[in-house]
Amino acid sequence: MGCGNSKVLPEASKKGYVSVVQSLVAFSKAQGDDESKKHAKKKRAPWFSTSAKNLQPASNGQQQILREGRQQDRVAKYKDKFDPRVMARYNIKALIGRGSFSRVVRVEHRATRQPFAIKMMEVEAPEGREVCATELAVLQRVSHSHVIQLMEVFQFPQRVYMVLELATGGELLDRVVSRGHFTERDATQALRMVLAGVAYLHNLGITHRDLKPENLLYYHPGADSRLLVTDFGLATFGGAGSEVVNGDNSGADSWSLRTTCGTPEYMAPEVLLRRPYSCAVDMWALGVIAYIVLSGSMPFEDDSRTRLYRSIVRGKYSFHGDPWPSVSNLAKDFIHRLLPLDPAARLTADQALHHPWVASMAASSSMKNLHRSISQNLRQRASRSSSRCPSSNESSADSTNVGLGKLILLEGNQEQQQGRASGRLPARGASTPAN
Ligand SMILES: Nc1ncnc2c1ncn2[C@@H]1O[C@H](COP(=O)(O)OP(=O)(O)OP(=O)(O)O)[C@@H](O)[C@H]1O
């Protein structure tokens, strides 16, 4: 997330809108000093700061020991927080990370010794309950090799524990940086997997609404790992009519979504313009992701959120600077077809999978190594970002910096009802132990 990692309000919220964002900010503040300091630590620049981890010099042995000590302390703390009924089945091994309402830990199933991730969500406050219900409703319906799999759920009044398959291969951009060699072919391999997952979701009528590199995790560190779409906290049912499934996303049935939400840099123009939108917003985000994966830079970016939004709604981006001269026209065409302002003109996920650049795995492109330019751009971004984040305690109310996390603004409760109605469907491969 961004410097502040806060859920932030857009400039003008209209009367009648229910701002979940304010509650979210209040909620995080209510966690107390200790919590907010730790939270601020997790708060990071959008996609590039995770990659920046790989760019840091190696720490010495002492630092390593300190880190391990801290990790053990944290694990002990999370063990205290975990419900004994969950602990009876799973042994907590390490803390993986934190979200706005969640902590994710690596666990081992006591009987089978199989590793999993458990996402523990606080559901006492309505905001956490909302996000959790959304995520659970989606996860209970999906089963696909490129979508994170829910294995089991424990639901209690204060907390929900989602047992998920454990992704140990790191985030998409971390891998791009760490592999040392990256070509268009590699980019198409990654994008094909994401597109397969997204096509599956869209065909089920699920719009993710927060696609970004941080939410794309490799299942294992090996070169042949699956890439998984994760984090369904902002997903929704709706936005995909039969028109979308048939490859034409212009039908009236598909334009049912209204909530303004997402991560600013990846938000489609129609979302920012508060127009009804469809699952084509995910395709816009995939265009942004394709741009980043090929270049290490962002198509739309500005320190001022207002200017960022303006550049997105104008749809003006360029292929200037390295490594773009080395990138094929077919790859650029792919991006162009995902980033038209008119959502009806955007490729659907199924169409994107058949775009010649993706379908041929960049066969006609040069196999130039783009890694150096990509890493350089990522590194520059990381340093710009850290200079924009003077303090880890930066206020979440900062309204000038971008990369500050997600926007959630609800207009009416139409979508919530849709989501919940769909969420009542029985889980696939998931059990819900009684309280
Ligand atoms: N199944 C999983 N396997 C491995 N790591 C995971 C898994 N699910 C989540 N994570 C990691 O755990 C961390 C916290 O994830 P989580 O989804 O709770 O929050 P987030 O998406 O980072 O933040 P927010 O809730 O504000 O969007 C992230 O670094 C994420 O990559």
Predicted pLDDT of residue 389:
60
The radius of gyration computed from the CA coordinates of the chain, to the nearest angstrom, equals: 21
Q: Please give the structure tokens belonging to residue 195.
A: 């597109």
Ligand 1 nearest-atom number relative to CA 96: 12
- The span from the CA of 249 to the CA of 426, in Å, is 28
Residue among 215, 167, 174 at smallest CA distance from 52: 174
- The span from the CA of 240 to the CA of 243, in Å, is 7
Q: Which amino acid is at 407?
A: L
- The span from the CA of 224 to the CA of 302, in Å, is 36
Predicted pLDDT of residue 270:
96
Residue nearest to atom 15 of ligand 1 (CA): 99
Instruction: Return the residue matching tokens 């010649």.
Output: 356
Q: Where are the alpha helices (DSSP H) in 142-279?
A: 172-179, 184-203, 242-245, 269-272
* ipTM field: 0.98
Angle at 79 between CA 76 and CA 82, to 5 degrees: 160
Predicted pLDDT of residue 255:
54
Ramachandran quadrant class, 13 (left: phi over 0; alpha: psi -120 to 50; beta: rest): beta
For ligand 1, which residues put their CB under 6 angstroms from it?
96-100, 102, 104, 117, 119, 148, 164, 166-167, 217, 230-231, 233
Residue nearest to atom 18 of ligand 1 (CA): 99
Ligand 1 nearest-atom number relative to CA 231: 17
Q: Which amino acid is at 15?
A: K
Residue among 192, 187, 234, 225 at smallest CA distance from 349: 192
Buried b or exposed e, range 101-130, using 16+ CB within 10 angstroms: bbbbbbbeeeeeeeebbbbbbbbeeebbeb
Q: Could you report the per-residue pLDDT of 192-209, keeping only the tens digit for each?
A: 999 999 999 999 999 999
- The span from the CA of 196 to the CA of 329, in Å, is 23
- Cα 320 to middle of ligand 1, angstroms: 33
Torsion of CA 386, 389, 390, 395, to 10 degrees: -160
Residue among 344, 343, 320, 341 at smallest CA distance from 332: 320
Residues in contact with 113: Cβ distance below 8 Å, sequence separation at least 6, in sequence order:
none
- The span from the CA of 318 to the CA of 332, in Å, is 10
- Cα 407 to middle of ligand 1, angstroms: 17
- Most informative mutation of 5, 39, 104 for ligand 1 (most atoms within 8 A of CB): 104
Residue nearest to atom 13 of ligand 1 (CA): 97
Residue nearest to atom 29 of ligand 1 (CA): 97
Q: Which amino acid is at 303?
A: D
Q: Please give the structure tokens belonging to residue 380.
A: 């520059």
Q: Which amino acid is at 89?
A: R
Ligand 1 nearest-atom number relative to CA 42: 22
Residue nearest to atom 10 of ligand 1 (CA): 104
pTM of the model: 0.78
- Cα 8 to middle of ligand 1, angstroms: 19
- Cα 336 to middle of ligand 1, angstroms: 30
Strand arrangement of the beta sheet that strand 260-262 belongs to: 17-18, 407-411, 260-262
- The span from the CA of 185 to the CA of 318, in Å, is 22
Predicted pLDDT of residue 25:
28
What are the residue numbers of the active site? 210
Ligand 1 nearest-atom number relative to CA 164: 1
Average confidence (pLDDT) per 10 residues, the chain, 435 residues: 30 27 30 36 39 46 72 72 93 92 95 98 92 95 98 96 98 93 96 98 96 97 97 85 35 57 91 94 98 98 93 96 96 98 98 97 91 95 75 34 42 35 28 35
Judge whether 119 is annotated as a binding position: yes
Q: Please give the structure tokens belonging to residue 45.
A: 């620049």
- Cα 115 to middle of ligand 1, angstroms: 16
